């Protein structure tokens, strides 16, 4: 089989590389290759190492002198025979289909026994007769990235708020433990589907209103408002949730999905209603004796004005109003104690609300 004709893009690339080599010389490319900050190596068809750059030395802990001309390095990087067999099997299957690997992650064991995660890209190199000359390998150490992603994932999964990630079709991709706890639905039941919204919002009319509200916020990048909804949990209990949402984009600025954060404000709303209900009841308890005192004093004033009442009767009437005033004072003290006790149990957000 002859060599395949190169396409227009490959011709452009080869021409550009030839121009660079003409200007800078072959040594420039060798220097660039050997001093790159990514692992670069070349292996022959028998997996013997031909090129092993300085980054490969740093990431693996093995010098070029220790590895070039041999394939023993792979048993050192992958000392577990079962894992090594698993990895080589995957590599063989992928390369046989695509002639290369793209972002293929493996765990290696460095010379100092430290474990690192490497993301590999490989390309099979063929000669003019379409025979395999070997494999060009590029490796990127992503251990710190993976560690940071893992830490972030643990934080998100254990946060005391709803944290949900939706894809572009509103299907669940992340459903944290708090979402499980409050809704009653486990992540395994909801991930990969959008059916959960029908369960949380069983009323189709209300569900449509919520959807329109959410996408109304998405459609206006300037909006930063939060919105409240009432969800129905698996147990049939109703919960009030305050939501905040944000669109997420990939590296190419294409829409990747939506991050949704929800705060359970059910108890806060209940306490608000309890306080307002008690205040309303207490106001009525205060209003009634005040009206009585007002009417009695007005009547007393009229009697005094026409001289239709004696001194003893005036004193008696005033004593009665003093008693009524004392009752008002007791009602105010009861209200004050009730509010103070409720205030101690209130969330900080509600305290701030009442103190404003």
**Residue 314 confidence (pLDDT):** 76
Range of the domain at 258: 161-264
> Does one domain contain both 253 and 170?
yes
Domain's final residue, options 264, 289, 307: 264
pLDDT of residue 250: 76
* 244, 200: one domain: yes
Question: 122, 146, 170 — which closes off a domain?
Answer: 146
pTM of the entire structure?
0.50
Q: Identify whether residues 133 and 85 lie together within a single domain.
A: yes
CATH of the domain at 90: 3.30.450.20
pLDDT at 2: 39
What's the pLDDT at 224? Answer: 60
Taking CA atoms, 143 is separated from 104, 107, 115, 139, in Å, by 14, 9, 9, 12
Among 27, 55, 19, 30, residue whose Cα is nearest residue 40: 55
Q: How far apart are CA 141 and CA 65, in angstroms?
A: 22
Query: Is 63 in the same domain as 134?
Result: yes
Q: Which residue intervals of the chain are DSSP H helices?
A: 8-24, 26-34, 54-60, 64-67, 73-77, 81-98, 143-158, 177-183, 187-190, 196-200, 204-218, 266-306, 311-345, 348-355
Query: 245 and 287 share a domain?
Result: no
- Considering the domain boundaries, does residue 45 fall inside one? yes
Q: Tell me whether residue 155 is in a domain.
A: no
Note whether residue 141 is domain-resident. yes
- Residue ranges of the chain whose pLDDT lies below 50: 1-4, 13, 16-17, 20, 22-24, 353-354, 356
Residues 242 and 295 occupy one common structural domain:
no
Q: How many domains does the chain have?
A: 3
Examine residue 348 and state whether it is found in any structural domain, yes or no.
yes
Domain final position from 105, 122, 146: 146
pLDDT at 20: 45
179 and 250 belong to one structural domain: yes
* 273 and 260 co-located in one domain: no
Same domain, 39 and 142: yes
pLDDT of residue 269: 78
Regarding whether 135 and 83 lie in a shared domain, the answer is yes
90 found inside a domain: yes
Q: What is the tens place of the pLDDT at every residue in 231-247?
A: 999 999 999 999 988 88
């Amino acid at each position: 089989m002859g060599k395949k004709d190169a396409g227009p893009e490959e011709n452009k690339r080869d021409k550009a590389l030839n121009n660079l080599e003409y200007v800078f010389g072959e040594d420039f490319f060798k220097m660039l290759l050997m001093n790159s900050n990514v692992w670069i190596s070349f292996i022959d068809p028998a997996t013997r190492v031909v090129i092993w750059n300085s980054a490969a030395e740093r990431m693996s802990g093995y010098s070029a002198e220790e590895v070039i001309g041999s394939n023993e390095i792979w048993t050192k990087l992958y000392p577990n025979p079962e894992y090594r067999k698993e990895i080589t099997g995957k590599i063989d299957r992928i390369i046989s289909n695509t002639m290369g690997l793209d972002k293929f992650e493996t765990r290696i064991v460095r010379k100092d026994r430290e474990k690192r995660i490497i993301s590999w890209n490989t390309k099979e190199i063929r000669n003019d007769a379409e025979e395999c000359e070997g494999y060009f390998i590029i490796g990127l150490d992503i251990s710190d990235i993976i560690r940071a992603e893992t830490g972030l994932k643990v934080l998100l999964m254990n946060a005391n708020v709803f944290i949900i990630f939706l894809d572009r079709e509103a299907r669940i991709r992340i459903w944290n433990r708090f979402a499980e706890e409050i809704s009653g639905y486990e992540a395994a039941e909801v991930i990969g589907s959008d059916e959960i919204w029908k369960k949380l919002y069983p009323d189709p009319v209300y569900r449509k209103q919520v959807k329109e509200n959410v996408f109304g916020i998405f459609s206006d990048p300037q909006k930063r408002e939060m919105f409240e909804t009432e969800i129905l949990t698996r147990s049939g209990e109703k919960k009030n949730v305050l939501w905040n949402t944000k669109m997420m984009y990939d590296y190419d600025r294409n829409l990747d999905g939506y991050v949704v954060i929800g705060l359970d404000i059910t108890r806060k709303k209940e306490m608000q209603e309890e306080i307002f209900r008690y205040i309303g009841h207490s106001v009525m308890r205060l209003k009634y004796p005040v009206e009585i005192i007002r009417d009695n004093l007005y009547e007393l004033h009229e009697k005094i004005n026409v001289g239709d009442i004696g001194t003893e009767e005036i004193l008696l009437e005033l004593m009665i109003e003093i008693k009524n005033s004392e009752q008002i004072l007791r009602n105010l003290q009861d209200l004050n104690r009730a509010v103070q006790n409720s205030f101690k149990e209130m969330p900080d957000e509600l305290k701030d609300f009442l103190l404003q």
